[in-house]
Amino acid sequence: MKKVLIAVDETAGSKSILSAFHNMVKEPESVVLLHVEKPGGKSLMYDMLGDAEMSTLKEAMEDSAYKEALDKKTEKLLSRYREEIANRGPMDIKTVVRWGHPVEEILKVAEEEGVELIMMGCNGKSKLHKLVSGCVTRDVERSAKVPVLVAKSGACTKAPKTAPGLQEAAYDVR
Protein backbone atom coordinates (compact mmCIF):
# COMPACT_ATOMS: atom_id res chain seq x y z
CA MET A 1 0.00 0.00 0.00
CA LYS A 2 1.41 3.32 -1.03
CA LYS A 3 -0.76 6.04 0.50
CA VAL A 4 -3.22 6.07 3.41
CA LEU A 5 -5.46 8.89 4.60
CA ILE A 6 -6.04 9.00 8.35
CA ALA A 7 -8.85 11.35 9.40
CA VAL A 8 -8.53 12.38 13.05
CA ASP A 9 -10.36 14.45 15.61
CA GLU A 10 -10.41 14.65 19.41
CA THR A 11 -12.81 11.73 20.02
CA ALA A 12 -11.94 8.39 21.63
CA GLY A 13 -12.87 6.66 18.37
CA SER A 14 -10.22 8.65 16.57
CA LYS A 15 -7.59 7.60 19.13
CA SER A 16 -8.26 3.96 18.28
CA ILE A 17 -6.96 4.62 14.77
CA LEU A 18 -3.39 4.47 16.05
CA SER A 19 -3.84 0.90 17.24
CA ALA A 20 -5.31 -0.12 13.89
CA PHE A 21 -2.51 1.67 12.04
CA HIS A 22 0.22 0.00 14.10
CA ASN A 23 -1.38 -3.41 13.49
CA MET A 24 -1.49 -3.03 9.71
CA VAL A 25 0.27 -5.87 7.96
CA LYS A 26 2.26 -3.66 5.60
CA GLU A 27 3.11 -0.09 6.38
CA PRO A 28 2.31 2.48 3.70
CA GLU A 29 4.92 4.59 1.95
CA SER A 30 3.11 7.75 2.97
CA VAL A 31 0.34 8.94 5.25
CA VAL A 32 -1.97 11.92 4.85
CA LEU A 33 -3.06 12.99 8.32
CA LEU A 34 -6.26 15.04 8.03
CA HIS A 35 -8.25 17.10 10.50
CA VAL A 36 -11.36 19.04 9.53
CA GLU A 37 -11.94 22.06 11.74
CA LYS A 38 -15.52 22.70 12.80
CA PRO A 39 -15.96 26.24 14.11
CA GLY A 40 -19.33 25.41 15.63
CA GLY A 41 -17.96 22.64 17.84
CA LYS A 42 -20.63 20.01 18.33
CA SER A 43 -23.48 22.31 17.32
CA LEU A 44 -26.05 20.74 15.02
CA MET A 45 -26.53 24.11 13.32
CA TYR A 46 -23.04 23.86 11.81
CA ASP A 47 -24.00 20.69 9.95
CA MET A 48 -26.90 22.51 8.30
CA LEU A 49 -24.81 25.28 6.75
CA GLY A 50 -24.53 25.37 2.96
CA ASP A 51 -21.42 26.30 1.01
CA ALA A 52 -22.26 30.03 0.93
CA GLU A 53 -22.90 30.21 4.68
CA MET A 54 -19.76 28.16 5.37
CA SER A 55 -17.69 30.55 3.24
CA THR A 56 -19.15 33.57 5.03
CA LEU A 57 -18.46 32.02 8.44
CA LYS A 58 -14.88 31.17 7.46
CA GLU A 59 -14.31 34.74 6.23
CA ALA A 60 -15.80 36.27 9.38
CA MET A 61 -13.64 34.14 11.67
CA GLU A 62 -10.40 34.42 9.70
CA ASP A 63 -8.42 36.67 12.05
CA SER A 64 -10.40 36.11 15.24
CA ALA A 65 -9.06 34.93 18.58
CA TYR A 66 -11.45 31.97 18.38
CA LYS A 67 -9.98 30.85 15.03
CA GLU A 68 -6.48 31.26 16.45
CA ALA A 69 -7.38 29.07 19.44
CA LEU A 70 -8.98 26.49 17.12
CA ASP A 71 -5.82 26.43 14.98
CA LYS A 72 -3.60 25.90 18.04
CA LYS A 73 -5.81 23.05 19.21
CA THR A 74 -5.67 21.49 15.73
CA GLU A 75 -1.88 21.87 15.54
CA LYS A 76 -1.47 20.17 18.92
CA LEU A 77 -3.81 17.33 17.89
CA LEU A 78 -2.05 16.71 14.57
CA SER A 79 1.44 16.85 16.10
CA ARG A 80 0.43 14.21 18.65
CA TYR A 81 -0.82 11.86 15.91
CA ARG A 82 2.13 12.67 13.65
CA GLU A 83 4.62 11.80 16.40
CA GLU A 84 2.86 8.52 17.16
CA ILE A 85 2.75 7.52 13.49
CA ALA A 86 6.39 8.52 12.95
CA ASN A 87 7.39 6.11 15.75
CA ARG A 88 6.39 3.22 13.49
CA GLY A 89 9.23 3.86 11.11
CA PRO A 90 10.40 6.04 8.28
CA MET A 91 7.58 7.20 6.02
CA ASP A 92 6.36 10.42 4.50
CA ILE A 93 3.70 12.07 6.70
CA LYS A 94 1.73 15.00 5.33
CA THR A 95 -0.65 16.94 7.58
CA VAL A 96 -3.70 18.61 6.06
CA VAL A 97 -6.15 20.92 7.81
CA ARG A 98 -9.46 21.70 6.16
CA TRP A 99 -12.41 23.82 7.17
CA GLY A 100 -15.90 22.63 6.34
CA HIS A 101 -18.17 19.63 6.50
CA PRO A 102 -16.06 16.61 7.52
CA VAL A 103 -17.57 14.09 5.07
CA GLU A 104 -17.08 16.36 2.07
CA GLU A 105 -13.57 17.38 3.07
CA ILE A 106 -12.42 13.81 3.81
CA LEU A 107 -13.66 12.63 0.41
CA LYS A 108 -12.08 15.63 -1.37
CA VAL A 109 -8.69 15.10 0.25
CA ALA A 110 -8.81 11.34 -0.44
CA GLU A 111 -9.36 12.05 -4.13
CA GLU A 112 -6.86 14.92 -4.35
CA GLU A 113 -4.13 12.86 -2.69
CA GLY A 114 -4.90 9.63 -4.55
CA VAL A 115 -5.03 7.50 -1.40
CA GLU A 116 -5.65 3.75 -1.46
CA LEU A 117 -7.25 3.51 1.99
CA ILE A 118 -9.10 5.82 4.36
CA MET A 119 -8.78 5.15 8.09
CA MET A 120 -11.27 6.65 10.54
CA GLY A 121 -12.49 6.11 14.06
CA CYS A 122 -15.99 5.31 15.23
CA ASN A 123 -17.13 7.57 18.05
CA GLY A 124 -19.96 5.45 19.48
CA LYS A 125 -22.84 7.89 18.97
CA SER A 126 -26.24 6.62 20.00
CA LYS A 127 -28.73 5.77 17.25
CA LEU A 128 -30.80 8.84 18.13
CA HIS A 129 -27.76 11.13 17.93
CA LYS A 130 -26.80 9.62 14.55
CA LEU A 131 -30.34 10.13 13.31
CA VAL A 132 -30.31 13.80 14.30
CA SER A 133 -26.74 14.78 13.43
CA GLY A 134 -25.65 12.08 11.00
CA CYS A 135 -22.56 9.92 11.16
CA VAL A 136 -19.39 11.05 9.40
CA THR A 137 -17.88 7.56 9.37
CA ARG A 138 -20.98 5.95 7.88
CA ASP A 139 -21.33 8.67 5.24
CA VAL A 140 -17.67 8.39 4.22
CA GLU A 141 -17.99 4.58 4.02
CA ARG A 142 -20.97 4.92 1.70
CA SER A 143 -19.42 7.51 -0.60
CA ALA A 144 -15.71 6.67 -0.70
CA LYS A 145 -14.19 5.29 -3.88
CA VAL A 146 -11.51 3.43 -1.88
CA PRO A 147 -11.75 1.02 1.08
CA VAL A 148 -12.48 2.54 4.49
CA LEU A 149 -11.05 0.98 7.64
CA VAL A 150 -13.05 1.88 10.75
CA ALA A 151 -11.21 1.56 14.04
CA LYS A 152 -13.72 1.07 16.82
CA SER A 153 -13.26 2.32 20.35
CA GLY A 154 -14.74 0.70 23.45
CA ALA A 155 -17.80 2.96 23.21
CA CYS A 156 -18.36 1.82 19.65
CA THR A 157 -18.08 -1.89 20.28
CA LYS A 158 -20.66 -1.75 23.07
CA ALA A 159 -23.25 0.21 21.10
CA PRO A 160 -24.32 -2.17 18.32
CA LYS A 161 -25.95 -5.50 19.08
CA THR A 162 -24.64 -8.53 17.26
CA ALA A 163 -26.48 -11.70 16.42
CA PRO A 164 -25.96 -14.60 18.86
CA GLY A 165 -22.82 -16.56 18.08
CA LEU A 166 -21.17 -13.72 16.14
CA GLN A 167 -18.23 -11.72 17.42
CA GLU A 168 -17.58 -8.18 16.39
CA ALA A 169 -14.24 -7.42 14.78
CA ALA A 170 -11.99 -4.77 16.26
CA TYR A 171 -11.53 -3.29 12.81
CA ASP A 172 -14.18 -3.02 10.18
CA VAL A 173 -13.04 -2.62 6.57
CA ARG A 174 -15.75 -1.64 4.12
Q: Nearest 5°: phi and psi at 65?
A: -65, -35
Residue 24 φ then ψ, to 5°? -65, 145
Residue 40: what pLDDT?
Answer: 60
**pLDDT band at 12; cut points 50, 70, 90:** confident
What residues contact 130, with CB distance under 8 A and at least 6 apart? 138
Instruction: Determine contact, residues 106/34, Cβ cutoff 8 Å.
Output: yes
Is the separation of the CB atoms in 100 and 92 below 8 Å?
A: no
Which stretches of the chain are DSSP H helices? 12-22, 44-47, 51-61, 65-86, 102-113, 127-133, 136-143, 154-158
Q: HSE-up of 144 (CA within 13 Å, CB side)?
A: 28
Whether the per-residue pLDDT at 81 is higher than 60: the answer is yes
Query: Taking 90 as the threshold, does the pLDDT of residue 164 lie above it?
Result: no
Tell me how far apart the alpha carbons of residues 139 and 162 are, in angstroms, rounded to a whole number: 21
168 Cβ contact list (under 8 Å, min separation 6): 152, 157, 160, 162
In order of their start, the domains of the chain are 3-173 (3.40.50.620)
Q: Is the pLDDT of residue 128 over 50?
A: no
1 SS3 class: coil
